[in-house]
Structures are given as C-alpha cells and as structure tokens.
C-alpha cells in the first residue's frame, strides 16, 4: 500500500492539538452548561442514578454502585471525580439546593472528608427528579452517543429551574475559570417569571428580585452597592463577613463573642485556619483580651466561642477578627459558562434569558410530542367509535377472511375479494369502508368487552378529553402567552414547595478600620545575648538581676516600651525594630532570635550597635569602618519609614566597625591590627550624607585594618589594655587625619 508523507510545521500541530485539548477541557469537563447549570460529570451522575432507579421514594443504593455504573457507561475519567461530584451534590453546606440525598458520612463543613464510597449510600432528591429529570421520555432534549457509542446520554438535562444561579458553580479550565455564587431559589424564580413577562428588564431591575448571593452558610454581604456592577458585567468581588453575637457569661461580669455564621469561603479547612488565627491573636498584644477559644459547632450549626477577659471591649475584638482573620473574606465572581456551545461570561439578564429560551425549547418539544401522541390517539379513537356502529359488519369481515392481511385490506381499502359474506348487501357495505391503517390495527386488536355500553361511553368520554388536549396543546404551541403561562405555573409550583427564606444578609458596611489601641508606654530594658536572642524586661526585673544581665548579654539598652530601636550591622545596613514587637517577659525567658524580628540577611553579622531612634534624630552619628574611613551623619537621616535601609556606603571588602552617638565634643582613638594608635578630633570626621563613604581617618599598612575604636568622652575609661600592656589614651597626642599613627611598642 502506497504511503503519503505530509509535511507540516511542528508549531502548527502543537497549536491545533493544544486548542483541541483546551476546548475539550472547557466544554466537556470544567465549565457548567448555562441551560441546566451542570458540569458533564454531574449531569452524567444524575442521569445514571435516574437510570438505576435510585428515585427519592426508593431505597438508597451504594455510592460505589452508582460511581462504577457512571464510569463504565458515561464518564471514563476515574472514580474520584465522579464520587467527588456526587458528594458535593449531597452537601447542604455547599449547595443552595442539594440534588442528591446522601446517607452516611458525606463530610462536614469543617473540612472532614466523606467516607469511602463503599460505605455511603445515595439516591435522588425529589426536586432533582421533578425539575431535572422529568419528561426525558418525551424527547425534550437531544440524546448523544456515550464515549464508546454503546449507550445514549442526554446532551443536557431538562432543568426547569435556573440551577446555574441557584447552586452556583466553580471550576478551572484551560486559561479560564468559573466562580458563581449560589442564590436563593425563590428570588431566582421570581426574577425568571418577571423576565418572561417583560423581556426588556435590565440587570438593575432584575435585582429587585435577586437581592444578591444567598450562601448556605449565611453570613453578611457588606458591599451591596457593588453588586449591580457585578451582575451587569458577570465579574467582581463580593465581600462577605461571618455573623458574630455578643453573649454575657452567666454569673460573671465577663462577655463572650460567638461566631454563628461563617463566610462561604471558610468552608472546609478554613475553619481550622480561623481557629489557629484566633489563637495567634490571643497570644499577641492586640488580642490579649481573648482568654479562651472553643469550637462548639454541631449538626445544629456553627458556634465558635471566644471567651473575653473582664473589662474587654467586644466591639474591638470583633473588628480585630474581621481585620486579621478570614471572618471577613472576598468571593471572586466570574459568571462563566458554556452558552451556545462556547464559553461566555454572563450577566444576570443574559443568564436568565438563556435559561428562559431553554425552557421554551423544552416546552415546545414536550407539547409537540404530546400533540402528536394525542393526534394518533384521536385517530384511533375515531376509528373505534366508527367501528362500534358497524361492529356486525366488521365481525362478518373477520370471520369471512382467510388471514389478517385480507381483513386489514378490506377495512382500509374496501377490498372484498376472497372474503365470504352472508349477503351481497354486506359485501357492498364492506366495499365502502375506509379506515386508516392505524385504525384498522386497533379494530383488529379490540377486545369484545369494549362493546359493553359503559365501555362505549368511556370511549366517547376519552375522545372528548383527547379533543380538549389537542386544543390545549395546539394553543400552547401557537401562542407565546399560553406557553409562558405553563412555564410560569411550573416555576411557581417549585417555589411554593422548595423555596426557603434568605440566609445571607445583604447590606452596605464600611471597611473595618482597626484603631490601634496604644498601651501606656513604660520603661523597660532591651536585652540581647551573645547568640542573638532578644527580649525586653521591666526595669525592676533588670535591677534585681543587674549583674547577671550585664554579664550574660551583649546588648543592654534602657528604652520605653513604644520605642523604635535602630540596629546597625557590619555590611552597613540599618534595621528599625519596634520594642513592642520584641517578646516581653521574665528575665530567664529565652527570647526570640533578632533575625526573626527584622529583615536579616545571612551575609551580615546582625549587630554593631543598637540605639533608640528618639536618641539619634536630633544628634549626630560617628561612623568608622575597618578600612579606616570615618564620617559624621545627621541622625535625622535615619528616621525613615522603611524597616531596612543602607546606613552607609562601603568599599568592596570593607566592613562597618563602629557607630557612635556623639553626645558632645569628643576625641576618638583608632587601633589597628598591627597595633598602630591614632587619636583624632571629632571635627576631623566631616559631616556627610548617609550614602557617602567618608574620608580616610588613618593610613593603613598592607594587610592592616582598624580593630577597635575608643571615644574619650566624659565618664568613659581612658586606660585600656592592649597585649597585656596598659595604655593611657588621653596621653596620646591629637593628630591629623590620614596619618599612620603611633606604633605601640611591646
């Protein structure tokens, strides 16, 4: 057999293959259909349950049986996706209107997973059977071959309610995602009816009926004014809060906060995260008034209790919860669904309009099917009524015929050849018979008891009903208003039986503004040990342990509890640290690593000097580097908003050695590794900007560097020990900068 090689661009093949894959995921997997609001896996699961006979009034069936049957017949993509869809459709805390009646452990609102499918059972809900699966036998929707063309499945279920709005949907496709919140069934039906009556209604006018989302978990939507734009464009963000109540603790002056409703986005593991966040708040200074947290939720509903200390402000703690936890959250809306075979972002009007068009299509196909059935019934009933009037002749034809075909041809075409008649008159009468083939078949299959008088009356009564049905169905098919009345009547019936009061409150509330309650500042002592662990203690605690504190810590700094501390490091960076962020406690507490409290870089040794910011803003700082560079900088340059900035410029290989707060006129002594000493006047260090390198203070020999700096201020020691030799620094002559200094003799 000859082979043909087709040459094409690899990029074109990849592009086409990717587009085919993307559209397959979008249309056949991830996005719901606007008509029934279901994804393919949901639709196939419900249809399979219908086929298995798991009706609402029948016994439950094992979930494993349903999943296996669905996978084998309609959805060959693994059992986990099918069972996952089945579980969600049974969870009343996720679905505004559950479609599956689950029996067993189908998970909880707190994130507990459902039991394995071999342990759980399920059946259809009554509303699912009535509003999603009814009339499938009346050719109201198209049936398409399944994946291996051994079965037929509905391309869409004949949903009678706007399920896409009622239950919402979420899914991630290729390059797009859908996120539609659930809504109140009664409100959605009212809006649908209003749009059927007046198709010119705008999105804003429809919102007189659909107030906003109605989440199964309740809660409060706090950006009501933004909903109109969301429903007009199909995209936006809804801000939702949990509901908090204040209760008085019996026989106590204390109060408690009780969370009774949570945001829809907190379903699942979000509740555990919320409890952890509350615990973190209770451990912090901001939420120190929270004394205890307990989750008392049950099947009756959510109840998370936060016990407050005596004198606590419940309103402040409530604001703290909204601001610092997921008790206030956002729900991203993207009303994307498959409409007319392609993905489309839908407005409220467009979504309801698509559903209404689908309802009229279903009704048209249903009543055309019913009309055809009634017309066939009418034909047969007319034939039977005519047959009763000539029943003796018909019996004579049947008795005189050789076979069924001969008798039928006589009844349909009046052919009498070969039939034995008692008289010529009977033959002539038989020749005038002209029944239709359907009438002839019905006559030949008619049972003799139909000749009883009461049966004849029933036949005529049925014929009258058939004529009335034909008139009704014809009117529905030929008049928009008549069909609209039928659809509206159905919708009103669903609303009356299945609608429930709104759960979610819709209102406008300002964003939470948390006024930071500043505790009264008090004197404390900042301690940091040689391992870099920092904490603050009360001054009284420090005084009691002064000797141990001074000997065990590399930094002992007296400051106020609300002070900002400025930390300088060897790579020339400045970190600003709030004293209130440093753990405050007992003297023997370990503290927290200083690098966890600021933007520590692993390349730097995190400590040259620690100073209170209030002490340096109106003074000058002296900088000395190992390379012998010196300068002074106005302290106000270091009062910045950023937590970390460059404090000085350094040459490659140079390190910052000393940062000193200049209280008054002073001299300083530079000591190098090769034991050179140089005493300089403060004025030798020029006043420069913090991003300057400085000037050369001492001339260093090859391989030499500055090791120590001493400042000869009032009260400072003037004698130091170098290599076991005592040196009087104040006896050194003040030299000019840039000199080599005096060599210390051993």
Task: Please list the active-site residues.
Answer: 119
The 3-class SS string of 353-387 reads: HHHHHHHHHHHHHHHHHHHHHHHHHHHHHHHHHHH
* C-alpha count within 13 angstroms, C-beta hemisphere, residue 541: 17
Torsion of CA 545, 551, 554, 560, to 10 degrees: 20
Q: How many secondary structure helices (H) and strands (E) does the chain include?
A: 21, 35
Separation of alpha carbons 631 and 660, rounded Å: 11
Token reading at 469: 């049905």
| Phi–psi pair at 215, nearest 5 degrees | -80, 140
Secondary structure class of 612 (helix, strand, coil)? strand
Contact by Cβ (8 Å): 251, 294: no
Q: DSSP of 493-562, one letter per residue?
A: HHHHHH-----SEE-B-PPP-----PPPP-EEEEEEETT-EEEEEEHHHHHHTHHHHHHHEEEEEEEETT
Contact by Cβ (8 Å): 430, 421: yes
Separation of alpha carbons 685 and 710, rounded Å: 15
* The Cα angle at residue 527 between residues 521 and 533, in degrees rounded to 5: 120
Torsion of CA 115, 116, 117, 123, to 10 degrees: 0
Chain-centre distance for alpha carbon 730:
71
DSSP 448: G
Separation of alpha carbons 660 and 645, rounded Å: 18
Taking only Cα atoms into account, the Rg of the chain, rounded to an integer number of angstroms, comes to 44
Separation of alpha carbons 650 and 652, rounded Å: 6
Q: Across-strand partners of 558? A: 525
Closest CA to 292 of 256, 262, 247: 256
Separation of alpha carbons 87 and 108, rounded Å: 11
Contact by Cβ (8 Å): 654, 625: yes
Closest CA to 333 of 174, 507, 177: 177
Altogether, the residues listed in the chain come to a count of 746
| Strand ranges (E), 181-268 | 220-221, 235-241, 243-248, 255-261
The 3-class SS string of 392-424 reads: HHHHHHHHHCCCHHHHHHHHHHCCCCCCCCCCH
């Amino acid at each position: 057999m000859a082979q043909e090689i087709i040459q094409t661009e690899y990029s074109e093949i990849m592009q086409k293959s990717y587009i085919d894959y993307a559209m397959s995921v979008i249309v056949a997997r991830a996005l719901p259909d606007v008509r029934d609001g279901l994804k393919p896996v949901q639709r196939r699961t419900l249809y399979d349950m219908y086929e298995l006979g798991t009706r609402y009034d029948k016994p439950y069936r094992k979930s494993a049986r349903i999943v296996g049957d669905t996978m084998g017949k309609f959805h060959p993509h693994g059992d986990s996706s099918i069972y996952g869809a089945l579980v969600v459709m049974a969870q009343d805390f996720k679905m505004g209107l559950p479609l599956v009646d689950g029996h067993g452990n189908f998970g909880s609102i707190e994130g507990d997973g459902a039991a394995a499918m071999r342990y759980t059972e399920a059946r259809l809900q009554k509303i699912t059977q009535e509003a999603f699966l009814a009339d499938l036998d009346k050719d109201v929707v198209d049936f398409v071959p399944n994946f291996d063309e051994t079965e037929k499945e509905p391309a869409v279920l004949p949903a009678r309610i706007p399920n896409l709005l009622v239950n919402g949907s979420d899914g991630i496709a290729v390059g797009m995602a859908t996120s539609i919140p659930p809504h109140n069934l009664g409100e959605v039906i009212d809006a649908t009816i209003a749009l059927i009556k007046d198709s010119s209604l705008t999105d804003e006018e429809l919102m007189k009926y659909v107030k906003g989302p109605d989440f199964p978990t309740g809660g409060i939507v706090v950006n009501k004014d933004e909903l109109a734009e969301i429903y007009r464009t199909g995209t936006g963000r809804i801000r939702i809060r949990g509901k908090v109540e204040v209760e008085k603790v019996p026989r106590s002056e204390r109060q408690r906060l009780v969370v009774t409703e949570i945001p829809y986005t907190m379903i699942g593991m979000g509740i555990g995260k919320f409890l952890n966040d509350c615990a973190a708040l209770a451990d912090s200074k901001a939420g120190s008034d929270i004394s205890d947290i307990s989750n008392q939720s049950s099947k009756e509903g959510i109840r998370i209790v936060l016990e407050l200390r005596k004198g606590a402000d419940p309103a402040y703690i409530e604001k703290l919860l909204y601001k610092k936890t997921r008790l206030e959250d956002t729900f991203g809306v993207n009303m994307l669904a498959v409409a007319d075979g392609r993905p489309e972002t839908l407005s409220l009007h467009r979504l309801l309009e698509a559903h209404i068009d689908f309802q009229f299509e279903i009704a048209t196909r249903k009543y055309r099917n019913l009309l055809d059935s009634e017309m066939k019934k009418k034909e047969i009933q007319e034939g039977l009524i005519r047959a009763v009037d000539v029943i003796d002749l018909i019996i004579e034809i049947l008795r005189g015929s050789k076979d069924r075909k001969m008798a039928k041809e006589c009844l349909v075409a009046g052919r009498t050849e070969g039939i034995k008649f008692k008289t010529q008159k009977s033959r002539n009468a038989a020749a005038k018979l002209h029944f239709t083939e359907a009438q002839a078949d019905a006559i030949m299959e008619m049972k003799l008891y139909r000749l009883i008088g009461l049966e004849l009356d029933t036949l005529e009564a049925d014929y009258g009903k058939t004529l009335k049905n034909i008139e009704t169905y014809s009117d529905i098919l030929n008049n928009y208003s008549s069909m609209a009345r039928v659809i509206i009547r159905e919708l009103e019936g669903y609303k009356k039986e299945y609608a429930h009061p709104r759960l979610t409150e819709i209102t406008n509330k300002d964003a939470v503004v948390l006024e930071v309650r500043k505790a009264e500042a008090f004197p404390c002592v900042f301690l940091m040990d040689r391992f870099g662990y920092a904490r603050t203690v009360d001054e009284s605690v420090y005084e009691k342990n002064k000797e141990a504190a001074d000997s065990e810590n590399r930094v002992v700094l007296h400051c106020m509890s609300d002070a900002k501390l400025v930390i300088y490091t060897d790579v020339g960076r400045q970190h600003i640290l709030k004293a209130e962020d440093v753990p405050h406690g007992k003297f023997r507490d370990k503290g927290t690593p200083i690098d966890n409290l600021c933007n520590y870089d692993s390349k730097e040794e995190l400590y040259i000097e620690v100073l209170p910011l209030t002490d340096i803003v109106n003074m000058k700082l002296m900088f000395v580097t190992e390379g012998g560079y010196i300068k002074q900088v106005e302290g106000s340059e270091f009062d910045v908003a950023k937590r970390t900035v460059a404090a000085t410029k350094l040459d490659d290989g140079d390190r910052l050695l000393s940062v000193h707060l200049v209280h008054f006129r002073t001299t300083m002594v530079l000591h190098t590794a090769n034991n050179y000493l140089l005493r300089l006047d403060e004025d030798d260090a020029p006043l420069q900007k913090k991003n300057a390198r400085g000037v050369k203070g001492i001339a260093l020999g090859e391989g030499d560097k500055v090791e120590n700096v001493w400042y000869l201020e009032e009260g400072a020691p003037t004698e130091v020990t170098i290599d076991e030799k005592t040196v009087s620094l104040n006896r050194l002559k003040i030299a000019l900068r840039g000199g080599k200094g005096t060599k210390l003799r051993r």
